[in-house]
């Protein structure tokens, strides 16, 4: 029997390199977007390096009165965010060795926005383009493509089952709530990513910081970026 490894993670805005390690290590990557949206979280923001230290780039999202909205129902509240984010990226990385190489592709992502847009669609557009730049070809699907019951373990197990997974690859933070026994009973082996031991690279604005957007890696080392990811 051939094995199939599936990873299931909420969508995120310009994620860090570990997120793309999960995608690369999986045979199928599922965006878990039919769960509750959380403010001030990776869904709508991430960090970059600046001359003044790490700084947040945050997409404004409609949240007033929408305390239980799902990620898939979250909409951008101000379409001008792209201009501000791109201006900050240009100011911080304009002199990075490979900024010019990726400038057109990344700028196009910030320019491709309508009067109203779902956060999930924004995130997928960035994730898909960055995957292409990193030579990652893993198929990406939505959790709503399958449908699954409520419950942290139950939902993940059902998504794995419907995707035909024999192995579930999770980030290390899920060790506290994943029930290995429930997965094993469903015939699914749980594996956890290891985010330790990443190599440093020539990064602007020292000291070195691993936990920033993968755009930092691309602008800094260009086509060598996949060599700074890990084989999970």
DSSP string, 47-87: EE--TTS-EEEE--B--TT-TT-BGGG-BBS-TTHHHHHHH
Tokens of 1: 């029997």
Instruction: Look over the chain and give the mean of its residue pLDDT values, rounded to a whole number.
Output: 94
Confidence at residue 149, expressed as pLDDT on a 0 to 100 scale: 80
C-beta of residue 162 within 8 angstroms of C-beta of residue 51: no
pTM: 0.95
Tokens of 167: 């192995």
**What is residue 170's three-state secondary structure?**
strand
Q: Which residues contact 199 (CB under 8 A, 6 or more apart)?
A: 228
- For the chain, where are the alpha helices, taking DSSP H only? 17-25, 81-93, 99-111, 119-133, 152-163, 180-185, 214-221
In which residue are the tokens 């965010």 written?
Answer: 81
> From CA 32, how far away is CA 44, in angstroms rounded?
14
Average pLDDT over residues 168-181: 91
Average pLDDT over residues 110-139: 91
| pLDDT tens, position by position, 73-85 | 999 999 899 999 9
Confidence of residue 152 (pLDDT cuts 50, 70, 90): confident
The Cβ-side half-sphere exposure at 186, using a 13 Å CA radius, reads 22
Across the strands, what pairs with 47?
Answer: 56
C-beta of residue 62 within 8 angstroms of C-beta of residue 230: no
Q: Distance from CA of residue 114 to its chain's centroid?
A: 22
| pLDDT tens, position by position, 41-64 | 999 999 999 999 999 999 999 998
Tokens of 168: 């579930």
- Domain range list for the chain: 5-228
């Amino acid at each position: 029997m051939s094995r199939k490894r599936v990873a299931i993670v909420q969508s995120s805005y310009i994620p860090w390199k570990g997120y793309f390690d999960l995608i690369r290590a999986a045979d199928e990557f599922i965006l878990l977007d039919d769960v509750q949206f959380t403010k001030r979280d990776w869904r709508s923001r991430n960090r970059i390096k600046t001359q003044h230290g790490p700084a947040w780039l945050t997409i404004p999202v409609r949240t007033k009165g929408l305390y239980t909205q799902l990620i898939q129902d979250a909409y951008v509240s101000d379409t001008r965010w792209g201009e501000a984010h791109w201006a900050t990226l240009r100011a911080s990385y304009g002199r990075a060795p490979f900024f010019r190489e990726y400038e057109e592709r990344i700028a196009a992502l910030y320019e491709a926005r309508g009067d109203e847009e779902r956060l999930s669609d924004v995130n997928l557009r960035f994730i898909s383009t960055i995957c292409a730049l990193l030579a990652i070809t893993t198929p990406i699907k939505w959790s709503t493509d399958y449908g699954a019951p409520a419950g942290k373990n139950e939902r993940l197990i059902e998504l794995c089952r419907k995707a035909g997974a024999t192995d579930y690859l999770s980030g290390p933070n899920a060790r506290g709530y994943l029930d290995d026994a429930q997965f094993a009973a469903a015939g699914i082996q749980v594996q956890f990513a290891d985010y330790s031991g990443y190599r440093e690279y020539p990064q602007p604005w020292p000291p070195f910081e691993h936990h920033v957007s993968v755009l930092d890696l691309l602008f800094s080392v260009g086509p060598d970026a996949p060599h700074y990811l890990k084989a999970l």
